[in-house]
Amino acid sequence: MASVLARLRELEVATRPEHPDLTAALARRWEELPAHVKTRSQMLGRRTAGCEGTHGVFPRCNLACTPCYHSREANRVRTDGEHTVHEVERQMAYLRAERGPGQNAQLIGGEVTLLEADDHAAALRAMIDHGRKPMSLSHGDFDYDYLQALALDPATGEPRFAHLSFAGHFDSMMYGRRGIKAPESEPALNPHRARFCEMFARLEAEHGVTHYLAHNMTVTPANVDQVPQVIRDCRDMGFRMFSFQPAAFIGNTSRWKHEYREFSTDEVWRRIEQGAGARLHPDGFQIGDPRCNRTAYGAYCGDRYVPLLDEDDERDARVLDDFVAAFGGMDFAAPPAILAARVVRGLARHPRAIASAAGWGRRFAARAGGPGALVRRRPRAITYVMHAFMDADKVKPAWELLRRGELSEEPAIRETQERLQACSYAMAHPDSDELVPACAQHSVLDPEENVRLQEQLPLRELPMARG
């Protein structure tokens, strides 16, 4: 009887739109957010607790980027599967306890594919087991054999994951890639971008393992004008997200090569819009501070990019209000019966979302060229993101003051503090019981952490960038 009751209770929780731990975590996050980001379209604290990333796991990389956000010591640390899995386990357990289930987490460090495929798989499994949705961040310079070994259980040859998410980092400031040691331009990397996508398409065709691929690119004065072309050339390759990071002065100072503040983030965003071939609507959804993040959701219907929400249309703003009121942080990736029950319960708590969604559907179809256009040209969702990390010389003092509970009077440091307080990309520190913004991790904590790791995991051979 007790076990039946426990099972019923489990089912009741599983079919709630939001897991109660997530409800509590979102409420805490909303409470902590600074007033300037508590807007109607803010998703932090209402739909998501924010993105997460690992740290101190496998800092070494075999390519050389300019800039590189890792400290100089990173390449003196051995990539070690046992250490990685242990650390990932600890960090993910902390994130699950602090932020509830269903959050996106990046398996990130130096280069993830320097891990043995089984260790990489064990790290992803630990993330999934702690309720994270993992994405591996890689330079993409690995072979199909590695991908297959990651995806398949070596004992049975059957898939050990139904789905894999990867972010491939490709830009012309990365040196040492096989076959293109020093790219002369962004288009020169297109065959490598295509090859990356083709490996995942092959994995799906041969083993049924689906994928989500993001394209990451650092933007500097050397390649900013090539951003539109990169998008035009690559948007049909299979990437579902294009994320651009205007370079910041963080990490290894010997890898700073350009005057990164020559252009504004507005200028980068304009280039992204040129490439997308449409005006983007990043104010439809806000994720943290807009000085850090802009995210535009939408879909191509043929060549036409259709925003998910029109940021100028009050009716679309109401759709978002209704969606959040009905579903909050609901995880839509669930088995069909559980998902159906969650949707029904969500709509029951806010029935207006039904009419609201119907109106939105009509407007979306009209923007796409009419219902016929949607049928003829099945929409392909693509998300455009710009994430602007901050310079270490601002982050260090801002973070140190914040930890003492002080706000700076100096405008640039105060702005940095505001952004850190609204951070949407956190790293877990179970020992000090803290969630640390990635900017503070890279600017303040990485150097000490990598010195410690260098002693704990010394290299067995000299580090070399691949050439």
What are the residues binding ligand SF4 (CB under 6 A)? Answer: 288, 292-293, 387-390, 419-420, 423-425, 437-439
Name the minimum Å distance from CB 203 to ligand SF4: 31
Query: In sequence order, what are the residues at sequence separation of 6 or more whose Cβ sits closer than 8 angstroms to the Cβ of residue 306?
Result: 278, 298, 299, 300, 364, 367, 368, 379
Phi and psi torsions of 124, nearest 5°: -60, -40
Tell me whether residue 14 or residue 412 sits nearer to ligand SF4 (CB atom): 412
Q: Which of 348, 350, 342 is nearest to 324 (CA)?
A: 350
C-alpha to C-alpha distance for 198 and 177, rounded to whole angstroms: 17
CB of residue 215 to ligand SF4, shortest distance in Å: 18
Residue with tokens 């004008």: 225
| Gap between the Cα atoms of 467 and 462, Å rounded | 14
Q: Which is nearer to ligand SF4, 241 or 388 (CB)?
A: 388
**Residues in CB range of 155: below 8 A, 6 or more apart:** none
Question: What are the CA-CA distances from residue 113 to residues 38, 121, 134, 141, 277 (Å)?
Answer: 39, 11, 15, 9, 34
Tell me whether residue 100 or residue 437 sits nearer to ligand SF4 (CB atom): 437
Minimal distance in Å, beta carbon 426 to ligand SF4?
Answer: 7
60 close to 252: Cβ distance less than 8 angstroms: no
Other CB atoms within 10 Å distance of the CB of residue 392: 22
At closest approach, how far in Å is the CB of 287 from ligand SF4?
Answer: 8
Q: Which is nearer to ligand SF4, 306 or 398 (CB)?
A: 398
Q: How far apart are CA 104 and CA 50, in angstroms?
A: 8
Q: How far is the CB of 396 from ligand SF4 (least distance, A)?
A: 13
User: Rounded CA gap, 35 and 346, in Å?
Assistant: 28
> Min. distance of Cβ 442 from ligand SF4 in angstroms?
8
- Cα(157)–Cα(164) distance, integer angstroms: 16
Locus of tokens 């998300």: 383
10 Å CB burial of residue 408 (0-12, 13-18, 19+) is: middle
Minimum CB distance to ligand SF4, residue 431 (Å):
20
Residue closer to ligand SF4, measured from CB, 48 or 62: 48
Q: How far is the CB of 260 from ligand SF4 (least distance, A)?
A: 14
Report in angstroms how near the CB of residue 244 gets to ligand SF4 at its nearest: 13
Q: At its nearest, how many Å lie between ligand SF4 and the CB of residue 196? A: 24
Instruction: For ligand SF4, give the closer residue by CB, 51 or 199.
Output: 51
Rounded distance between C-alpha atoms, residue 366 and residue 360, angstroms? 10
Helices (H), 36-189: 81-99, 117-129, 144-151
Q: At its nearest, how many Å lie between ligand SF4 and the CB of residue 243?
A: 12
> Are residues 123 and 72 in contact, defined by beta-carbon separation less than 8 angstroms?
no
* Rounded Cα–Cα distance for residues 248 and 230 (Å): 21
- Least distance CB 311 / ligand SF4 (angstroms): 20
> What's the token pair of residue 195?
């090859």
User: Which tokens in the block code for residue 293?
Assistant: 């993040």
| Strand order from edge to edge, sheet including 51-53 | 304-307, 293-301, 380-387, 241-246, 210-219, 163-169, 132-138, 103-107, 51-53, 425-429, 434-437
The beta-strand segments (E) located in 241-376 are 241-246, 293-301, 304-307
